[in-house]
Amino acid sequence: MVTNQTFENRLEKAKQRRHAKHLRNFQTPAERNFWYNVPAHRLAGYKFRRQHPVGPYIVDFVCLPAKLIVELDGGQHASQQKYDEKRDAFLKEQGFRVLRIWNNEMLKNRDVVLELVLQALRSGEPPSP
pLDDT of residue 84: 87
On whether the pTM is more than 0.85, the answer is no
User: Does residue 104 sit within a domain?
Assistant: yes
pLDDT of residue 38: 85
Orientation of helix 29-37 relative to helix 110-123, angle to 10°? 60
Which residues does residue 129 pair with via DSSP β-bridges, in sequence order?
none
Neighbours of 107 (CB within 10 A): 16
User: Does residue 32 sit within a domain?
Assistant: yes
How far is residue 57's CA from residue 20's CA, in Å, rounded to a whole number? 10
Find the distance separating the first CA and the last CA of the chain, reported in whole Å: 50
Domain containing residue 86: 4-123
Three-class SS of residue 109?
coil
Encode pLDDT of 18-76 as tens digits.
Answer: 645 555 556 788 888 889 888 767 788 899 999 899 998 999 999 999 999 999 988 66
pLDDT of residue 24: 56
Three-class SS of residue 10?
helix
What total of structural domains would you count in the chain? Answer: 1
User: Does residue 39 sit within a domain?
Assistant: yes
Residue 2 has pLDDT above 70, yes or no: no
User: Does residue 42 sit within a domain?
Assistant: yes
Three-class SS of residue 66?
coil
CATH of the domain at 28: 3.40.960.10
Encode pLDDT of 84-128 as tens digits.
Answer: 899 999 999 999 999 999 999 999 999 999 999 999 999 876 555
How far is residue 49's CA from residue 96's CA, in Å, rounded to a whole number? 14
**Between 108 and 12, residue with greater pLDDT:** 108
